[in-house]
Amino acid sequence: MTDLKSELLMPAGSLLKLKTAVLYGADAIYLGTPDMSLRTKSQFSLEQIREGIEFAHAHGKRVYLTLNLFSHNKDIPKLAEYVDTIKDLDPDGVIIADPGVFQYVKQHAPNVPLHISTQSNVCSWLSVKFWQDMGAQLVVLAREVSFEELVEIREKCPDVKLETFVHGAMCMTYSGRCLLSNFMAERGANQGNCANSCRWGYKVHLKLRDGTIKELEIDESNVNMFEFLLEEGARPGEFMPIEESENESYILNAKDLCLMPKLDEYLKLGIDSLKVEGRNKSVYYVAVVARIYRRAIDDWARDPENWNPKPYMDELMNVSNRGYSLAFHDGRLTNYAHNYEQTQTLGEWEFAGFISNITDDAFEVEVKNKIVAGDVLEFLPPDGGETVLLRVYEFESAHNGKITDAVHAGTKPVIRLPFELFDHENIQALKNRMPELTVVRKETPLTQTQWDRLKLDRVGQRLEITCNTDDPVHPLYKRKRENLRNSLKEDNKTRKIKSPRLGLDTCCGRGCNGCMMFWHDPAYEKAREIMATKKQGETLDCDMREDIQNTDAAE
């Protein structure tokens, strides 16, 4: 058994997610308030952060606080309160990107360990040494760092902790330094309010001589007549094709990072912290990803010579993703690192609920997705062992005992699952393996289009590992891609746009950090005055937003 030990670092966007990460095997958790980190959807107040740190420390886990926004003048007054608070919280580290914020925390909270965020774009051993000399104890490397570069950084910087991302969403721009979100939706990505403009679909249009603009419709009659090419000024004669199907083209849509196929290399190198992205992801995502990486890391430590990533990859396909890629592991992106056809996150299983209480004779499960009679529920024990399946034909409300044949998640229902239903299990052993917060899932009812996308993702993931980066797109991948395009074409015949994307032409009025409309539009002047009185981590609630809007309308 090897003595090398890398910590598994999981995200938490709420107190429930933090507790789930601890339960499912995280060694450390990172989190932050919505107004001082890069996730405005975070559900942590400073008081909840205190509770979360106490909970994690009671279970022997570490907590790192994210203070990694690029600060504007309006953020500076909050910094003093934040730093005064965290000095008493005893975090195991504070993750910072802004040099000014780094210097402020170093001066006013000298006992707090300082970590350098991936937003600082550290790609070389020289930059690591710089931050080490400045007082950083850990440096999170940019996602663009290849494994070869990482080996050299580890060799030249042996006395500072290194952290690298191993799983989660990828940003099309350089280490998250996104300007597209600001331009397209007036939402500051570097202040935590990214609009994910890189995930939007784009279509090609033609401007005619009379000034009218027409959508370019590509079909069987014209698809082979022409193609559009780009020529860059410094590369005359080098033409780059612009490719679009008859559907929208997701030209900036990167697949998700997943280094599980290469995880043993990072473990052998002794990287101090292996980081999973996803503070905006669900409890189910946190549980499944933590569970499988925990098992993979522990299995490698027990028997590194016979370690095989395949069973862990199979399980990771059960959590929603955009397809998996090794990204910059080998230095260059491959032909399989992007998905130009569809941006939806898909998984073969979905969150059904979690065990919220255990009585003498039943599990009580808080339901998070619709469940109907005949569905098979799968219980995921935090110990990483075999799951437990249970087909359910009726549902008993834990509140009033009412029996129904379907449960809808909108009202946060809680159902009773009597132990007598688990007729093949030792009940005491079952209760020991399934504590409160144990996650329950069910199969996702996928459409043909969604199945075609998952098949394409699986083929692309396998080919990326086995093919040279200079290879053209594999014929098998082309066939699977064509199947998906045909399915999307059928979907588009009946597709309806549900609503405009939030942020394009309006503001939700919550007071999110990074939303230029809220912080600069005169229409939100009263709302800004109210926000100035709120505690850190709080935003405007629905009733207050409606009152403000009604007042503005009356005036």
pLDDT band for position 69 (cuts 50, 70, 90): confident
Strands 414-418 and 362-367: antiparallel
Q: Identify the pLDDT of residue 285.
A: 96
The residue with greater pLDDT, 285 or 214, is 285
What number is the average pLDDT over the span 30-59? 82
The residue with greater pLDDT, 341 or 353, is 353
Q: Identify the pLDDT of residue 310.
A: 94
Strands 362-367 and 349-358: antiparallel
- Domain range list for the chain: 7-170+254-325, 349-443, 448-492, 521-554
Q: Identify the pLDDT of residue 499.
A: 37
Summarised one tens digit per residue, pLDDT across range 388-411 is 999 999 999 999 999 999 999 888
pLDDT at residue 40 is higher than 60 = no
> How many CA atoms, within 13 angstroms, populate the side-chain half-sphere of residue 424?
5
| 115 within 8 A of 138, measured Cβ to Cβ | yes
Q: Identify the pLDDT of residue 177.
A: 67
Cα 43 to the center of its chain, rounded Å: 15
pLDDT at residue 540 is higher than 70 = yes
List beta partners, residue 371: 407
Q: Identify the pLDDT of residue 57.
A: 97
Of all residues in the chain, the percent with pLDDT exceeding 90 is 53
Across the chain, mean pLDDT equals 85
Q: Best-predicted range by mean pLDDT among 187-196, 419-428, 491-500?
A: 419-428
Query: What is the residue type of 83?
Result: V
The residue with greater pLDDT, 291 or 47, is 291
What is the token pair recorded at 461?
A: 């993931």
pLDDT at residue 545 is higher than 60 = no
What number is the average pLDDT over the span 31-48? 74
pLDDT at residue 263 is higher than 90 = yes
What number is the average pLDDT over the span 527-535? 81
> What are the CA-CA distances from residue 377 to residues 48, 330, 391, 444 (Å)?
31, 39, 6, 11
Domain 349-443 bears CATH identifier 3.40.50.1010: no
Strands of the 395-397 sheet, one edge to the other: 388-391, 376-380, 439-443, 349-358, 362-367, 414-418, 395-397, 403-404
What number is the average pLDDT over the span 197-206? 68
- 94 φ, ψ (degrees, to nearest 5): -125, 125
- The angle that helices 76-89 and 46-58 make with each other, rounded to 10 degrees, is 30
Strands 371-372 and 273-276: unpaired
Question: Could you tell me which of 45, 18, 40, 38 has the C-alpha nearest to residue 30?
Answer: 18
- The contacts of residue 533 (CB under 8 Å, 6+ apart) are none
Listing DSSP states for 205-218 in one string gives EEE-TTS-EEE---
The residue with greater pLDDT, 3 or 103, is 103
First to last CA, the chain: 72
What number is the average pLDDT over the span 523-547? 71
Q: Identify the pLDDT of residue 28.
A: 98
Summarised one tens digit per residue, pLDDT across range 466-509 is 876 556 778 898 899 889 888 888 877 665 544 333 434 467 67
pLDDT at residue 42 is higher than 80 = no
- 456 φ, ψ (degrees, to nearest 5): -60, -40
Cα 228 to Cα 244: distance, rounded to the nearest angstrom: 9
pLDDT band for position 92 (cuts 50, 70, 90): very high
Instruction: Give the largest Cα separation in the chain, rounded.
Output: 78
The residue with greater pLDDT, 60 or 69, is 60
Q: Identify the pLDDT of residue 519.
A: 76
pLDDT at residue 87 is higher than 70 = yes
Scanning 422-515, the segments in alpha helix (DSSP H) are: 427-433, 448-466, 475-492
pLDDT at residue 115 is higher than 90 = yes
Cα 39 to Cα 68: distance, rounded to the nearest angstrom: 10
Q: Identify the pLDDT of residue 234.
A: 65
What is the token pair recorded at 146?
A: 């290849």
pLDDT at residue 297 is higher than 90 = yes
Is residue 540 classed as helix, strand or coil in its secondary structure? coil
What is the token pair recorded at 228?
A: 């559009």
Q: Identify the pLDDT of residue 502.
A: 40
- The contacts of residue 56 (CB under 8 Å, 6+ apart) are 18, 22, 29, 62, 63
What number is the average pLDDT over the span 416-430? 93
Domain 7-170+254-325 bears CATH identifier 3.20.20.70: yes
What is the token pair recorded at 10?
A: 């999981």
pLDDT at residue 434 is higher than 90 = yes
Q: Identify the pLDDT of residue 299.
A: 97
Q: Identify the pLDDT of residue 322.
A: 92
Q: Identify the pLDDT of residue 504.
A: 40
DSSP state for residue 514 in the 8-state scheme: T
Please, is 25 exposed, middle or buried when counting C-beta atoms within 10 Å of its C-beta (0-12, 13-18, 19+)?
buried
Summarised one tens digit per residue, pLDDT across range 145-184 is 999 999 999 999 999 999 999 999 887 776 666 666 666 6
